[in-house]
Chain A
């Protein structure tokens, strides 16, 4: 299988020679996943916190619902978001189809449940003694919430990493919403799908390796951050 060794060689060649198509796809991937991850953290952390922290009627049902969303296939999300942002859809006027913000919105829908669920689990896993300690040291509700989040920060960070991994590696949403438009919405994964569709397997493998490198750099950066904190 020459594809595999060829793929490795090609990956380093693409990166080393600054192949513009490859770098365009890398930057698009970074843009899209950063946007979607930022949005999903902004939405997901407070929601997950609320879900893990507060007791309310129907909480278990909400948890089950969110956990079910974790299994949402990317194409279903893509289809759903397409229906909304197609010109014929309710948000058609925004012209978001085949744009980076469009993919980011769909990816946000895809990964927010991960952030919510893992954050909720992290908050639920906090020691009851922590709450007692915070209260007795004089904290009000807001302070307790903030400190709880900080206590759970590594678990929340892990949630963010997991969500990032999902965003960076999904192909269904990027393909359906982005349309794989060269120089614009072609991400690494849609480029892989395209190259595979063209029968360029070693190119596909090369791009796969580029994606792995990217994921590695992101994870490594977060580990460094964790070490410093």
Chain B
């Protein structure tokens, strides 16, 4: 894999309104890498993806693609990138025409039929059945697969996918995942995906960036804890959860500072621990468990008062604790293990 940079963002800001701002002080995406963006709805993921796809130009700051400022980018560079909308739109024509359209626009008519059929195969749509269907004769999931095929067929250098598996049936989700895995295996394709499906996102991406409140607040699977924080009279600051439990932190930069908590700094216990120096002892329930991309560790999601805490523990420890989803546990971490989000500290 080469280590050229596909994208370089610097001091990029996008203002939705007085209150909300997408703010990316610095970000680099390498060519041929696959990057995931995780985060809640309205966090700014879609806007960021649209900016990367050159579809949104009302930003301040700098976006460089292949070393060229995106504002001065030519026709050729623009066709190196394509973007799949979260809620895709099909032209009012047949599935075949939809998939072939981008190629026709590019003047690539050679072997058109074969290429369209191949792309339909990738997303699990049988060309014989689906190629001649009209846009309104297929289900939502099939439409999303057709839309994905219309992007894959272009073989662009960069593929940007906004929630590719959201709001589709199981079969379509599988078709979409298979197709994306296939494209990922190809050399030199830069894959940028936003998804709620974090398990899959971790599988498919080399790195996952967490977006929250218009900011990239963490790398990997860090836990993000938003304020507001109140001083508790001592050196500590506290945030009270809805069920009355409290989280303690040390000296946030502002009242509404964002805390970043490394999953491996959380301890899970079967019973309420006593006599510990750690300030944060929270009662919760195991929600999900999954393997961490081939390592010997397990990711365990513990739900505490409606908020999810991601913990990274050894398989051995998990066996020992007999962890299963639904089991009541306590999570423990030091107040000082919470880092405060500072843009410059991330990269």
Contact = CB atoms under 8 A, between A and B. Distances in A.
Asked whether the complex places CB atoms of A and B closer than 8 A, the reply is yes
Interface of A: 127, 129-130, 132-133, 135-140, 143, 147, 150-151, 153
Interface in B288-310: none
A147 B92 CA distance: 10
Interface residues of B, number: 23
Interface in B129-151: 147, 150-151
Given A129-B87, A132-B89, A133-B147, 10 more contacts: A129-B85, A130-B91, A133-B91, A135-B55, A136-B81, A136-B151, A137-B151, A138-B105, A150-B92, A153-B92
Given A136-B53, A137-B82, A138-B78, A130 B102 contact: no
B106 interface: yes
B150 A130 contact: no
B105 A133 contact: no
A137 B105 contact: yes
A125 to B, nearest CB: 13
Given A147-B91, A151-B92, A139 B85 contact: no
Contacts of A127: 89
6 contacts: A132-B55, A133-B88, A136-B151, A137-B151, A138-B106, A138-B154
B79 interface: yes
Contacts of B82: 136-138
B88 A129 contact: yes
A210 B308 CA distance: 74
Nearest to A147: B91
B237 interface: no
A124 to B, nearest CB: 16
Interface in B74-110: 75, 78-79, 81-83, 85, 87-89, 91-92, 101-102, 105-106
A143 to B, nearest CB: 6
Q: Which 4 A-B pairs give the minimum distances between C-beta atoms? A: A137-B102, A129-B89, A138-B79, A136-B83
B93 to A, nearest CB: 8
Contacts of B150: 137
Contacts of A153: 92
A156 to B, nearest CB: 12
Contacts of B87: 129
